[in-house]
């Protein structure tokens, strides 16, 4: 009898990846279930060696991750006492591998307990209950695809990295996919540097008709687009226009239908969050993870969005019915007759639905008191994008008025929304098309008077550096990486200091450029975007059981290894080639300081190393404070480690600047110039002196005096 009661007391064990997810799911399953978190991978390749048997089918040698043995032991012990084990890690390759390794580890300690796999796309009571009611087996093909990626990356990293240590600098590393992204960023930087800005001018004019006035822009001269390359050009044209007769030549009205966009995929979410909210890809994914795993809404805990790693725009029938019911109730005139269908891209794996709210009734206003500021922003754009995707298109009307003036044609245009359609649910995602300017009431043939001219100087803008949004877009377009890897690719490049962020732009460091140049020259195949995309497709084929994972690795590895060995023997070492003696004297021992390249950029080190270990930051400019004489160097704040520029005579001198010195002096007052950025001027140079009005345009060379 006692034995029977003991068996009856056994609980079902559910193992998820994170404590937040465990907390949410435990609330849904009730007292007969225990939910534990594995905290990600418990079993993986060791960090200290390659651990891939290249002589025997590339089998990986897995070990318990350092520091995770206690947790694994606890889970094995819990499983032994359980009625049944349900492995509920994420429904992707990494999640499948976690489940696979957990199953094998539990089997070693308990051969009889039933072990099943459950998957779900959202953390809601219905989805979890449904998953528990329909457990499956582990998808071995998905596990093999993860194994293939892991082994492939390990073979590339553990062969290229020692080569970099030997030839460039100790402690460097090269990743298979990150190196391709680095190449894209470096190539764009070369385009930015080689671009030569050209001056051009535009001309606007104020026109008067009766008591009203309006401003229009010159759009053609003698029937062609005006080419005004200098102030002299624009002044010559004004001289011909000022006494010319001006009249309304044409008024055109056009209507345009604007269709809503499909709900978010991972890459689209990262791009919109970067452009609209200023979030990095990493931050976007961290917040999306929180919304997916569950937040407390009053007394209940709810997963607010579906799984956030997806390349599909597909929506479940249940979600479509729910959103159409909600639109029908709130905006009945904007509900299409049939649900709007969006085509899934050719490259999409379509394993998951698009990112959407789990309950459309949880509007941003409903949940705002339960979310952090950033959670609310991200949830709002996900909610708006999903709901709007199932609403009627918007319609705009554009009116263009052409004013002929001598041999010139001026134009003023204005748009207004005549049917809001899906814009009715847009707040954070609203567009400029929602805003319109009033146009003057005119008719063809009306005479108007030119009141004033506004010539304006511009410089052509070169190619823009990559941002989080644009690099993710490019990676997706080229088929490099997958939804789960976009954010980590950027993070790794930043962590290794191959790339830095400046005004939200990704800028390669000197170290990053050196590594990129070496890889492009000696391993063009490995850092080729087409080749990397092809490898991604082969990993997909492994998951679809079309090819064997070991065959795929074997095809790649031998030619690659032969090339590594050849380069190792023939490539000349760059080590120390960037070290440079300076005139700066070490204050500790009197020897000269050397300019050296470290992991975080250049620094000064005493040439007497190792006897003298003095190091310091490189002076970027002279302190502008009268009588100070100190140097301006890069510093970092405590906590978040934000960079700023301060005087070496601190605390006696407390001068600081948040803008980086350019290495040039102002030609007007002699103080140093800094790099500034704003939306109107983009990146430009300006004088640090607040009393000096000298400002460089983005294309202006300025003084080349060294500071």
In 265-276, which positions are buried (b, 16+ CB within 10 angstroms) versus exposed (e)?
bbbbbbbbbbeb
Residues contacting 639, CB < 8 A, separation 6+:
none
Given a contact cutoff of 8 angstroms between Cβ atoms, the answer to whether 604 and 617 are in contact is yes
Contact 659, 696 (CB under 8 A): no
> Cα–Cα–Cα angle for 471, 463, 601, nearest 5°?
65
Q: Which two tokens stand for residue 564?
A: 């590594």
Distances (CA, A) of 151 to 46, 92, 159, 176, 416: 12, 17, 12, 11, 56
- Selected catalytic residue, list 33, 58, 307, 645: 307
CB distance 271 to 261 below 8 Å: no
Per the annotation, the verdict on 307 as an active-site residue is: yes
| CA atoms in the 13 A half-sphere facing the CB of 55 | 0
- Mapping DSSP to helix (H, G, I), strand (E, B) and coil, where does residue 128 land? helix
Burial of 500 (0-12, 13-18, 19+ CB in 10 A): middle
Q: What is the dihedral of CA 353, 359, 365, 367, to 10 degrees?
A: -100
Residue 27 tokens, joined? 């609330």
Contact 25/47 with Cβ under 8 angstroms?
no
Helix (H) or strand (E) holding 388: helix 373-389
Q: Which of 348, 388, 171 is nearest to 266 (CA)?
A: 348
Q: Which helix (H) or strand (E) holds 603?
A: strand 601-606
The two tokens of residue 617 are: 């930051």
Between CA 11 and CA 282 the distance in angstroms is: 37
For residue 218, give the nearest of 209, 228, 208, 210 by alpha carbon.
228
User: Would you say 628 and 639 are in contact if contact means Cβ atoms under 8 Å apart?
Assistant: no
Spatial distance between the Cα atoms of 548 and 539, rounded to a whole number of angstroms:
10
Phi, psi (rounded to 5 degrees) for 476: -65, -45
H helix or E strand, kind and range, residue 537? helix 529-543
User: Residue 43's Cα: distance from chain center in Å?
Assistant: 29
Residue 71: name the closest of 15, 113, 24 by CA. 15
Contacts of 634 (CB under 8 A, 6+ apart): 617, 618, 620, 643, 644, 645, 660
Q: How far apart are the C-alpha atoms of 158 and 555, rounded to whole Å?
A: 18
Two tokens, residue 498: 């191959």
**Residue at token pair 């569950």:** 294
DSSP-assigned states of every residue in 203-229: EEEEEEETTEEEEEEEEEETTB-----
DSSP 453: E
Count of Cβ atoms closer than 10 Å to residue 460 Cβ:
12
H/E stretch holding 247 reads: strand 246-258
Bond from prior residue into 327 cis (ω within 30 degrees of 0): no
Say how far residue 365 (Cα) sits from the centre of its chain. 27
Just list the catalytic residues: 307
């Amino acid at each position: 009898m006692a034995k029977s009661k003991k068996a009856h007391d056994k609980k079902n064990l559910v193992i998820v990846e994170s404590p937040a997810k465990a907390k949410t799911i435990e609330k849904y399953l009730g007292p007969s279930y225990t939910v534990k978190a594995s905290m990600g991978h418990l079993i993986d390749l060791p960090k200290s060696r390659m651990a891939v048997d290249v002589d025997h089918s590339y089998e990986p040698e897995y070990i318990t991750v350092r520091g995770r043995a206690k947790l694994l032991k606890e889970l094995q012990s819990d499983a032994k006492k359980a009625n049944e084990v349900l492995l509920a890690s994420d429904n992707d390759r990494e999640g499948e591998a976690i489940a696979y390794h957990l199953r094998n580890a539990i089997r070693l300690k308990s051969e009889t307990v039933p072990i099943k796999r459950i998957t779900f796309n959202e953390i809601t009571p219905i989805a979890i209950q449904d998953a528990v009611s329909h457990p499956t087996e582990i998808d071995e093909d998905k596990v093999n695809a993860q194994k293939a990626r892991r082994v492939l990356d390990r073979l590339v990293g553990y062969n290229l990295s020692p080569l970099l240590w030997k030839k460039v600098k100790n402690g460097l590393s090269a990743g298979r996919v990150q190196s391709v992204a680095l190449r894209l960023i470096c190539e764009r930087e070369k385009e930015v540097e080689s671009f030569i800005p050209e001056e051009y001018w535009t001309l606007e004019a104020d026109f008067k008709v009766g008591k009203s006035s309006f401003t229009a822009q010159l759009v053609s001269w003698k029937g062609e687009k005006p080419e005004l390359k200098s102030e002299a050009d624009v002044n010559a044209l004004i001289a011909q226009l000022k006494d010319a007769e001006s009249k309304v030549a044409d008024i055109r009205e056009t209507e345009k239908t604007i269709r809503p966009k499909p709900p978010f995929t991972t890459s689209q979410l990262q791009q919109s969050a970067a452009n609209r909210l200023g979030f990095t890809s990493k931050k976007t994914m961290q917040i999306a993870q929180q919304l997916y795993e569950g937040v407390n809404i009053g007394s209940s805990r709810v997963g607010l969005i579906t799984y956030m790693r997806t390349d599909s725009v597909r929506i479940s029938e249940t979600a479509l019915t729910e959103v159409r019911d909600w639109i029908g109730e709130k905006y009945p005139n904007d509900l299409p007759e049939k649900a709007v269908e969006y085509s899934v891209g050719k490259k999409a794996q379509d394993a998951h639905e698009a990112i959407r709210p789990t309950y459309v009734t949880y509007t941003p206003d409903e949940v705002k008191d339960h979310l952090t500021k950033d959670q609310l922003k991200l949830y709002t754009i996900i909610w708006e994008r999903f709901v709007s995707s199932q609403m009627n298109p918007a319609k705009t009307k554009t009116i263009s008025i052409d004013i002929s003036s001598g041999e010139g044609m001026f134009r003023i245009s204005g748009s207004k929304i005549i049917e809001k359609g899906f814009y009715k649910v847009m707040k954070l995602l609203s567009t400029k098309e929602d805003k319109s300017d009033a146009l003057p009431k005119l008719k063809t043939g009306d005479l108007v008077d030119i009141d004033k001219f506004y010539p304006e100087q511009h410089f052509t803008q070169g190619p823009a550096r990559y941002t989080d949004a644009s690099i993710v877009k490019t990676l997706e377009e080229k088929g490099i990486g997958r939804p789960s890897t976009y954010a980590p690719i950027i993070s790794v490049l930043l962590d290794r200091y191959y790339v830095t962020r400046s005004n939200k732009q990704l800028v390669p460091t000197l170290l990053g450029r050196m590594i990129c140049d070496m890889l492009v020259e000696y391993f063009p195949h490995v850092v080729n975007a087409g080749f990397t995309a092809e490898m991604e497709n082969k990993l997909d084929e492994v998951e679809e059981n079309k090819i064997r994972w070991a065959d795929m690795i074997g095809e790649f590895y031998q030619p690659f290894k032969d090339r590594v060995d050849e380069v190792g023997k023939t490539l000349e070492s760059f080590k120390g080639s960037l070290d440079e003696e300076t005139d700066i004297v070490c204050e500790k021992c009197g020897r000269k300081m050397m300019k050296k390249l470290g992991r975080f950029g250049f620094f000064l080190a005493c040439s007497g190393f190792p006897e003298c270990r003095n190091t310091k930051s490189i002076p970027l400019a002279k302190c502008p404070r009268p009588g100070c004489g100190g140097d301006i160097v890069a510093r970092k704040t405590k906590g978040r480690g934000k960079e700023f520029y301060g005087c070496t005579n601190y605390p006696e001198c407390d001068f600081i600047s948040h803008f980086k010195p350019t290495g040039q002096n102002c030609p007007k007052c002699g103080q140093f110039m800094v790099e500034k950025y704003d939306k109107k001027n983009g990146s430009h140079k300006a004088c640090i002196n607040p009393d000096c009005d000298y400002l460089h345009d983005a294309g202006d060379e300025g003084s080349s005096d060294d500071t």
